[in-house]
Structure 1
Amino acid sequence: MDQQSLVMLVTSSSPQTQLFIDYLGQQLNCPIVLVSPGSTQRAITGRTVVLLDIDYLDEGIIQEWHSLSSENPENITLAAFNLRNEDHAVEVLSAVNLQGVFYHSDSLAMICKGLNALMANDLWMSRSLMTRMIQFFRRQQLNSYRPACGLTQRELEIIAMLGTGASNTRIAEQLFVSEHTVKSHLYNIFRKIEVHNRVQAVNWARQHLGAPPPLTSSRHQPDKQATKLIET
């Protein structure tokens, strides 16, 4: 096992949590760091397995960790524990890129075995779960980002950027439009797909549209006179 590896446990602090941390530290022979659900570690260096306690995290926090791991895949391996069953795992995996899955029913020994596998850069999930996820993403590909629910191409572009965690300011800069225009598009998107916030919109897109189309990062900045003509 890489001696530089550590496990970051994202859950609520309690006496039971401390016992869990002590057990993992003894069995894995690596540092175990507790992170409260309300905070996201932004500076992670070295090999880190982030273990998310699904019982204590809302969708917004889970998406923050998803974005962070996507930005730093070489250092961060994302896993979740306290999942109810395989159906629950499919639901979570459809929105978050996890390398490991642990259930309520898993023993401490099984969790340690899985964490060892994750620190060795292996996946930790059942064959049946992986089969279901392959089938899920194949179904998504059949309808991948074709016009849906009356969404325009620009609205699809914006909903794709939401999935990267981009702010309204960042979206406006990327698309060379005003923040007011972005807000108008978001209002129309939420109305068309019947959601109320960004997290729900991202989850809706992953469920119905599949992986977002690649965003072009090499666009040239238009001149100031042309900028006003592309406010769409």
Structure 2
Amino acid sequence: MKCSNAKIIFVTDSNSQSRLFIEHIEARLKCEISLLSPVDSIEAIKNNNALILLDAAEMDDSRMQNWCVSAAGKQGLVLAAINLRDENHATQVLASVYLKGVFYRRDSVDLICKGISKLLDDHLWMSRSLMTQLIERYRNQQLNAYRPVGGLTQRELEIICLLGSGASNNAIARQLFVSEHTVKSHLYNIFRKLDVRNRIQATNWARQNLGVLPNISASAARKPAETRSAKNGLAGTDAPGL
């Protein structure tokens, strides 16, 4: 995307300072820059081959995010943020929006022009230290995604989710194709790891730490156990607490 066939759009409030900035950039890059208000819609951009500069000094994170979400469905649009306070601010913004470039308030016009040229050539424009922070954050997110919650194994997480639906030991065993003895052993380990004493406490812990639990039909989960008990003429014999 070269300046000759690309459109540059500066999303900011229209005032003497922003118009002066646009004049400087246009003179340096020999290209035309349009100005849109932060309250405008991205639909106002007719050219899909465009670089959009979002003014972080005039837009809050939610408005920037709305622009990025709208741009996601349009090919050829490149978004960058300008007037960010520092790298911490950039990291905060990049946690919720996808940008290919960032510019800081301290950046000179020459540096901004260089960055715009790189973005038009389909390169990223951000500092090495910022990239390092982003990579480190992504790595930590991946580690947290695979770290067992509360020390629970994947099987124990499955059991505690079924527990939250009201399923009996027998129903859980049939659902997971294991024995009731195995389910009781897992429940014992779950209670010990979570430092709880019964099913209700374990379920409450799960709802607080795991969010909304998968919902299976409690009546359907209990049905196999009830059917088996009826056939045997016996009531369920789950141990207290387990």
TM-score relative to the length of structure 2: 0.58
| Residue 145 (structure 1) shift | 9.1
Identity, in percent, stands at 41
Q: Contact 2:84–2:103 at 8 Å: present in 1 too?
A: yes
Aligned to 1:33: 34
Number of matched pairs: 154
CA-to-partner distance for each residue in 1:197-216, whole Å, 9 max, x for gaps? xxxxxxxxxxxxxxxxxxxx
Aligned to 1:102: 103
SS in 2 for 1:38: coil
Aligned to 1:76: 77
- Distance in 1 (alpha carbons) for counterparts of 2:66 and 2:146: 23
- Distance in 2 (alpha carbons) for counterparts of 1:44 and 1:100: 22
SS in 2 for 1:144: helix
Aligned to 1:54: 56
| Residue 70 (structure 1) shift | 1.6
- Distance in 1 (alpha carbons) for counterparts of 2:72 and 2:92: 19
1:211-226 equivalence runs, <5 A: none
Q: Contact 1:40–1:64 at 8 Å: present in 2 too?
A: no
Residues 44, 61 of structure 1: CA spacing in aligned structure 2 closer, same or farther, 3 A cutoff? Answer: farther
Where is the helix percentage greater, Structure 1 or Structure 2?
2
| Residue 2 (structure 1) shift | 4.5
Q: Contact 2:54–2:82 at 8 Å: present in 1 too?
A: yes
Q: Contact 1:44–1:75 at 8 Å: present in 2 too?
A: no
| Residue 116 (structure 1) shift | 0.5
Q: Contact 1:10–1:51 at 8 Å: present in 2 too?
A: yes
SS in 1 for 2:42: coil
Residues 146, 36 of structure 1: CA spacing in aligned structure 2 closer, same or farther, 3 A cutoff? Answer: farther
| Residue 6 (structure 1) shift | 1.4
Unmatched tracts of structure 2, length 5 or more: 150-160, 162-207, 210-242
- Distance in 1 (alpha carbons) for counterparts of 2:54 and 2:3: 21
Q: Contact 1:4–1:46 at 8 Å: present in 2 too?
A: no
- Distance in 2 (alpha carbons) for counterparts of 1:125 and 1:40: 26
SS in 1 for 2:34: strand
Report runs of 4+ in structure 1 exceeding 4 Å deviation. Answer: 145-148
What is the alpha-carbon root mean square deviation over aligned residues? 2.8
Larger relative contact order, structure 1 or 2 (CA cutoff 8 Å, min sep 6): 1
Unmatched tracts of structure 1, length 5 or more: 154-191, 194-232
SS in 1 for 2:145: coil
- Distance in 2 (alpha carbons) for counterparts of 1:145 and 1:94: 20
Q: Contact 2:3–2:29 at 8 Å: present in 1 too?
A: no
